[in-house]
Structure formats: structure tokens, C-alpha cells
Amino acid sequence: MLTSMVMNSRPVGQPDNMSNESNADGPRDSRRSPVVVPGEDLGPSEGVEAGHGVLVVGDRVKSTKQGRMNRKGNTISVSPLHTRYMPRPGDLVIGHIEGCTNNIWFVDIGAPFNSILPMSLGPAKVEFGGTRKVLDIGDSILCRVQEVEETHQSVVTMKGMGLRKIRSGALDELDPHLLGHLIGKGGSFLRAMKMETDCRIVVTDNGRLWIDGDLENILEVRKRIENISSEARIVGVGA
């Protein structure tokens, strides 16, 4: 299964006293924002408003994340290159079955810890010890996060309208902080892509997508998703 996702780049910081002249180090892409790491000095704080991923320490501006530094007017922010999904109750997610016991499935939802799918919240009535007859290791499911503990461990459910085992189409993946760019204002971009490709596209909160339709159209959708990721790598777009 192929995935499209933002890849981590090699951290390359730019001190505030580095020359920005076009002839200083040869040709460069003026659109490209520098990659910074947590704690990196981004320059003096005077006249600067700290945005997302940035903290003012004394008279200096510091990065709190690894990502691309962006400046819009007087605001400096850092857009993460890659984010880890943190589950919240009610989230719609795509999970992959990674293991099971007699009455529980362990589900990878892209979070720091695997989620648990109890037999009682599975897609069908299951006899004790028969979990693999319903959902086997390697299966993918559309489910919802039912509860999240303080440790960020979570429980998912398949009890609900539309929740199911995924049996057709293709799965893809986009960094969760880029979902807004895929969906568009008021869902406009996603809605247009569905109409233009005649594909069913389910976008979930953990950045995974289920695309169902003709093969040629599925490939077109995946190409557009990869374009979003590529643009993020080049320009450093934020959430």
C-alpha cells in the first residue's frame, strides 16, 4: 500500500545574521522557508508577534517545533513538517489491525499508542476466541474513537452508521496538519475533487483517506494528495 505523507527534512537553520542577498550562495528558491529545530534562535523579538510554534524568550524569538519558519507581516510562526496524531473522543479514524486476543483487537490509528477495539464494540457478534474470524491482522477498518485516557491510550468502536471493515478501493495518508488544505474552505476543495474524479473519498481525523472508485480516478486523487504534500515541503504551508 502506497502512502503520501510529508517527510521529515534534514534540519537546516538560518541564523538571523545570515546574508539574504541573492548572490551570497548562488541561485535559490525565494519561496522556500528555512527549516528550524526546537530551541533555535529566530531573531530579535522587537516588533515581532509570535505565532504558532514560536515563543518569545527575553528579547529573542525561539522555535518550539521542528518545521518551516514562516513570516507574514510582523508574525513569525513555525509549521511542523510532520505531526503525530493525538486521538480525541468522537474522531473518525482509519485503523489497521495489528494484533488480537480472545476478546480484543489492537488497532494502529497512527497515535503514539495502539488503540483497543473490544469485542463488544466490534462490527459483528463474536464468540469468545473468535476475533480473527471477524477482523484479522492486516485488515483496515473505519471506526470512531470512543474514549481517550490521560495516557493518550484510546478505545475505538465500530458501532455506528458507516463504520465498517474496508474491503475495496485504496488507502492513502496525509500529515494530519495538512487536512485543512485538502478539505478546503467549507469543504470546497474536497467536494470539487469528488465531483471531478467520481470517487468516494473519506477523510479521517488521523490523516488517513479511503478512496473508492475506478482505478484511473483513484490514481488521480492520489496524485492530487501528493501535490499537497509536495507543496508543503517546498513552501512550508501551515495548518
What pLDDT is stored for residue 234 in this prediction?
55
Q: Which residues of the chain have pLDDT under 50?
A: 1-30, 236-239
What count of other Cβ atoms lies within 10 Å of the Cβ of residue 214? 11
Position 204 scores a pLDDT of 95
pLDDT value of position 80: 66
Q: Which domains does the chain have, with CATH numbers?
A: 92-165 (2.40.50.140), 170-235 (3.30.1370.10)
Alpha carbons 49 and 194: distance in angstroms, whole number = 39
* pTM of the predicted model as reported, rounded to 2 decimal places: 0.66
pLDDT value, residue 83: 66
Residue 81 is predicted with a pLDDT of 62
Residue 17, pLDDT score:
34
What whole-number distance in Å separates Cα of residue 217 and Cα of residue 233? 25
Task: Write down the pLDDT at residue 96.
Answer: 93
pLDDT of residue 133: 92
